[in-house]
Chains A and B, each alone.
Chain A
Amino acid sequence: MSTREAVLDLLRENARYSTDDIARMTDLSPEEVEETIAALEDDGVVRAYQAVVDVEKVEPERVHASVELNVTLDRETGYDDIAKRLAKFPEVQTLRLVSGDFDFAMEVEGDSMSDVSRFISEQVAPVPEITQTVTHYIMQTYKERGVEFGDGHDDDRLSVSP
């Protein structure tokens, strides 16, 4: 594994690992770790550092939805153009072009169901290239970005064993 891969691997596991801990785990100097992280950021590989939050615990009323979008393209408008326009809305958390029955998979959030519905009907659906929207309100999140939201796994091993 290259230095870059090793550092990136650790950041993806836990972005709050200190430089010192990353250095110890990878057998690099703290300076090398800092340089590697700076390069990853400069190259646009690492885009941001965010916590994975169980929103249910802090904002139980807030509404999240996953929206399927179908679009038609013409000579002047491609997927990227539509995506750029949609991505500007702060309500849109995630936007991906996908294969299959629809074109874009979009995740949005709002303070209430009517809030999200209004956003879809007044801001998204009127975009001329969008031909259809299907909104799924999220009822429960069990796992996000590789992190399970269960109670976790207790360490039930014997405290000392051969």
Chain B
Amino acid sequence: MTFEQSERLETVPPSGIRRFFELAEEYDDIISLGVGEPDFAPPWAARDAAIASLERGQTSYTANRGMRELRERIEGHVAEHYDLSYDADEEILVTTGVSEAVDLAFRAFLDPGDSVAIAQPCYVSYVPGAQLAGAGVVDVPTREADEFKLTRETLEASGAADAELLVICFPNNPTGATMTRAELEPVAEFAREHDLLVLSDEVYADLTYGGEHTSIATLPGMRERTVVFNGFSKAYAMTGLRLGYAMAPPEAIEAMNRIHQYTMLSAPTTAQHAAIEALDTCDPDVAEMRDQYDRRRNFVLSRFADMGIDCFRASGAFYAFPECPRDDSAAFAEALLEEERVAVVPGDVFGAGGEGHLRVSYATGLSQLKEAMNRLESFVD
């Protein structure tokens, strides 16, 4: 008897991030700019609400779709912040992080042989998620010349027109790119023309600098073909509490919930209590964290400019995506780790269009960030 892997799993390569994590783990004195989560703790009020719910023994399963009190608040929050209108009863599904929600959507809407167009570089889960659902992936590499925004031209050149599904994520991990309403319009037009469903991961929406976040679902004719994802990991610094949500028309949420009810039953209850408090009272905490990230973003970009490292002005999430000063970004990142004890992630692990760049996370305190920049400067000199 052997554990022979399924053919489907064979199609999924091991995570490039994982390899880099193992390299970084060999040193105990590194400054890591390779972290994809906030350095803040969740707002105290949210943590306190979670603790209080545990003290009251509120640890049973919740409704499959999530606590109604939470879904109502999500309905109010996205209406107020992003001009999105989704019904708490039928159009919102609370999940174990956005990752679960994206996986549900792949499994709910894809058949073997379907194809998924994925705007890249992107979060590392989309491609394997689509493959595990039996679909083929069409790489849609965004370009530095476009500041890593998705354009109609790129969509056309990549063959996305023949796909069933388009996956986008703005503000973007790993590039920090954002897209305005005007920039999203040609993408929406393309999706309508070619009858694509759109999965829009907007988990970094609240971390947009110098402008407002626009959801593609607010564009004409898009609500009925889009699933919007958001969650509490980034803006509320609640990564380990594992809480996200999906918003879509009733039939889409119904389909995703049919998988969710068997595979997850319900999202973590303690986290849902924290999330209710977060939406009720923690806007000022989010604003304070955003201000901090914004300063660090300015700091890092300014240091890159002085070092002669080319970097477009990322305007969202907590990442900068500079050009790698040497040819091979993986080799550069390894050498930087070994010689200067600074961890960054080579861009190629985030898919097509990432090679030649580095993901630099500024979710790290300023003194560490400053020391890391000093080390990087001496390394590239």
Contact = CB atoms under 8 A, between A and B. Distances in A.
Interface stretch (A80-88, A114-122, A151-159): A151-159
A24 B302 contact: yes
B35 A157 contact: yes
B157 interface: no
B11 interface: no
A27 B298 contact: yes
B191 to A, nearest CB: 26
A126 interface: no
Contacts of A161: 17, 21, 34-37
B302 A27 contact: yes
Interface string A128-162: 00000000000000000000000001010111111
28 contacts: A1-B291, A10-B295, A24-B299, A24-B303, A25-B295, A25-B296, A25-B366, A26-B298, A27-B298, A153-B41, A155-B39, A157-B37, A157-B39, A158-B35, A159-B32, A159-B34, A159-B35, A160-B20, A160-B21, A160-B24, A160-B32, A160-B34, A160-B343, A160-B345, A161-B17, A161-B21, A161-B34, A162-B15
Nearest to A10: B295
Given A153-B41, A161-B36, A24 B21 contact: no
Contacts of A17: 366
B123 interface: yes
Contact of B24 (A21, A24, A159, A162): A159
Interface in A17-35: 17, 21, 23-27
Contacts of B366: 17, 21, 25
Max chain A CB contacts within 10 Å: which of B24, B30, B34, B296?
A: B34
Contacts of B173: 162
A158 B366 CA distance: 19
B24 to A, nearest CB: 4
B125 interface: yes
B7 interface: no
A12 to B, nearest CB: 12
B124 interface: yes
B124 A21 contact: no
B299 A159 contact: no
Interface of A: 1, 9-10, 17, 21, 23-27, 153, 155, 157-162
Given A24-B303, A27-B302, A161-B36, 19 more contacts: A9-B291, A21-B366, A23-B302, A24-B302, A25-B295, A26-B295, A157-B32, A157-B39, A159-B25, A159-B30, A159-B32, A159-B343, A160-B20, A160-B32, A160-B34, A161-B34, A161-B35, A161-B37, A162-B123
A9 B25 CA distance: 36
B370 interface: yes
A57 B347 CA distance: 46
Nearest to B99: A162
Contacts of A25: 295-296, 298-299, 366
B303 A160 contact: no
Contacts of B37: 157, 161
B299 A21 contact: yes
A155 B34 CA distance: 13
A23 B291 CA distance: 15
Contacts of B295: 10, 25-26
Contacts of B35: 157-161
A44 B15 CA distance: 56
